[in-house]
Every structure is written in structure tokens, then in C-alpha cells.
Structure 1
Amino acid sequence: MLTDEMKMQRKTACAKLLKHYEEEGEENIQRIVTGDESWVHHYGPESKRQSMEHRHKSSPSPRKFKVVASARKVMLIVFWDSEGIFHIEFLKQGNTVNSERYISTLRKLSVRIKRVRPTKHAIPHHDNARPHTSRQTEEALHKMNFVVLPHPSYSPDLAPSVLYLFPKLKEHFRGNHCESDEDVEAAVRHWFRQKCKCVDFFTDGMRQLVRRWQLCMDRD
């Protein structure tokens, strides 16, 4: 659905990001701290693969009813880098992420970075959602001395959480039932702790970002 002008803006931005990466190498990726928001449902329907049943080829197909994600859900806000999770927050259903709320999260992130990576010059990254790019948010980022990694316009698919972290999290939760918001939060935290033990899990997620930049260039 993108116009030629939109595609050119996207490609130009990716070219600049790739050039910067080539100049600084792996260190550039290691400094990125990316964040995003996503809903986590109390119940997510199984994937087609998960719901497959072993049966004889002559057996009639079982009747299956369409199942959708539960209406009860929790908003997950997460920031992470190539080494693991930096900061997690949960919002109850009915709350929204506006500029004021997002700035509050950024302040907590700033404190966390100074405590966990005091020698690391972190580069925050987020997509171009309105709460992330409002004048109020930009002013707050400036006061925190954060220089944000530019995100290409018209490119929600180039956000590391969207292209890597959230799909893996939600795939894990398919078919699981949680009785309460607290159960959801505990399950998400447990999954993140397990992934922090996996060598290169988060590093691979950041490398996916570089591959996507290159893919945009290759496919014009």
C-alpha cells in the first residue's frame, strides 16, 4: 500500500542505518535498547500445528470450532538489548500508553540503564507510534540525554520486538490458560528469565533488525 515516495523514505532511512552499522560494527547493535508495547491475552488459541491430531487418513476430520483470543488481556511494555531484558511493566486492561505514561516508563528505563550498564552508552530505540514521537516525549528524552536511534517511516515491521520478540512470546503462550492478570505477568516474567539463559537469543533478535534493513535495500 506504500507509495513510491513512502518506499523511498523507508529505503533512504535503512541505507543510513546500515552505513552507521557498517562503520561501528557489532558495537552499534550492542548499544541499542529497544522497547515496545503489546497485549498479552489470558488465553491464546492454539496454532494449526498445535491443534493437529494424529489419526488414520481414512478417519473423518474432527469438528473444530473457531476459537479466538480471550477478551481479558494485559498490556506488556518491555525494553531489551542484545544481552537480555532491561525493563518490564504491565498495564491493566482499560489503560492506554499515552505520552505521559510513556515518559514515566522512560524515566524508569534511564535509572535501570545507569544501574545495570553504567559504562554503556545506550541508544534507545522505538517505533514511530504517537506516544513515542510526541513533542512532550522528545523533550523528556532530551532532558535524559538520550539520543534515539531513528526508526524508518512506514515501518512497523522493522521494530525488533514486533519482528522477533513478541511473535516468539505469543507462540509460546498459544493454548495456555491464565486465570488472572497476575498469572499472565508471572508467566511472561518466567518466559523472559528462561530466554535470558539461552545463549544468543536476544543477540539474534537484534541481528534480525540489521537483516531487515538490508532486505529493504535489496528489494528496493
Structure 2
Amino acid sequence: MATVFWDSRGIILLDILPNRASFNADRYCETLDRLRHAVRRKRPGLLRSGVVLQHDNATPHTAKRTKEWLQRYRWDIIPHPARSPDLAPSDFHLFEPLKRHLGGKKFEGEDEVIGEVRDWFSKLDANFFTQGIYIYSLLPRWQKCIALHGDYMYIVK
């Protein structure tokens, strides 16, 4: 399982869960700690201006420990309506093209897959990420959700 944190400029953190490891609130808070350090290195202005995350309503994201972590560092969360996969930019803007890239390829082992995923992400240019946030993806989808008063929607490209 890969957790990817990105903004309009590119990948901030790609965190890959070790094989057979559990993804729970403790693991998610450890990932958020790594993200905080990555933001400090790559986007120091974000820590002053405020970090806003969009994640779904999975249990590790909504657990008490996670909420306490987010409050401690004053990070905000964009609410995610239930059953709205079309509002998760990583699902439709990152993972769909990644699946197409990996499709049909044969790998010798987990390390080779991880290397290919890291390599693919490293070759994406900043324009790809800008489009994912502003032009084709996140903002138009949120605007439609707001116009529909939060009702479920599905956008077909």
C-alpha cells in the first residue's frame, strides 16, 4: 500500500507500507510525522501558512489519535463526503495513470515494483500536479459537489 502526499508542485512524500504491515492510526500518525519533516524540507512556507489535507473517512484518518495529532500541529482537513471517490485526487489523478503505466509489466519482486513506482512518480513534471489540483480535477469536482449541495456525483472524463 502506498500513501502519497502531493500538492500543485509535485510529490511531497511517498510512503510505502511494508509487506504484511497493518495500516492503523499509529502507522498513519508516523506517516504524518514523516510528512511534517518532508514539508519542512521541501515546502517550508506551508508550515507557516497552514497545511490542509484531504483524506477520506478511513478509520486511521478519523481515529482519536489522528485527530489529536492534527490539532497539535494545527493542520486542517478538507471534509470528504462519504461515498465520493470522485473527490479523491490521488485516486483519479495519480493512481489511474500509474495503473496504466504498470499494466502488463512483469516484476521479479516487491522491490522492483516499488522502484518502478518511485521512478514513475519522479518523472512527472510540475504541470501534471497543477492540472490535478486546478484545471482538470480537484477544484472543478469540489465546485460541482458544492453546487449539488453535497449530493453524490460522478464525473466521467
Is TM > 0.5 for Structure 1 vs Structure 2? yes
1:171 and 2:97 are equivalent in the alignment: no
Pairing partner for 1:139 from 68, 72, 88: 68
Pick aligned residue for 1:91 from 4, 12, 17: 17
Contact 2:8–2:126 (8 Å) recurs in 1: no
Contact kept in structure 2, 1:99 and 1:137, CA below 8 Å? yes
Task: After TM superposition, give the deviation of residue 126 of structure 1 in Å.
Answer: 1.0
**Correspondence list, 1:73-152, <5 A:** 75-120=1-46, 121=49, 122-152=51-81
TM-score for the superposition, normalised by structure 2? 0.84
CA-CA distance at 1:150 after TM superposition? 2.0
- Structure 1 unaligned regions, length at least 5: 1-74
Shift of the alpha carbon at 1:206?
1.2
Report how many residues are paired: 144
Q: CA RMSD in A?
A: 1.7
1:119 counterpart SS class? helix
The CA distance in 1 between the partners of 2:78 and 2:39, in whole Å, is 16
Change (3 A) 1:147 1:215: closer
Q: Which has the larger Rg? A: 1
- What residue identity is the alignment partner of 1:91? L
Shift of 1:92: 3.0
Partner-residue secondary structure (3-state), 2:44: coil
TM-score by length of 1: 0.61
Does the CA-based 8 Å contact 1:158-1:209 persist in structure 2?
yes
Separation (CA, whole Å) in 1 of partners of 2:61 and 2:31:
11
- The partner residue of 2:130 within 182, 193, 203 is 203
Q: Deviations over 1:156-209 (max 9, x none)?
A: 3211101211111111110011111110111011101110xx241001111201
Which sections of structure 2, spanning at least 5 residues, go unmatched?
152-157
Deviations 1:92-121 (A, max 9, x none): 332221100000000110111112111222
Bigger relative contact order, structure 1 or 2 (CA pairs below 8 A, ≥6 apart): 1
Asked if 2 retains the 8 angstrom alpha-carbon contact of 1:110 and 1:144, the reply is no
What is the percent sequence identity of the aligned residues?
A: 42
Task: Write the mapping of 1:52-71 to structure 2, written as runs, cut at 5 A.
Answer: none
SS at match of 1:107: helix
Structure-2 residue corresponding to 1:5: none
Cα distance, 1:153 vs structure 2: 2.9
Matched residue type, 2:33:
R
CA distance in 1, matches of 2:32, 2:95: 20
Match of 2:109 among 168, 171, 180: 180
- For the 8 Å contact 2:55–2:80, the answer to whether it is kept is yes
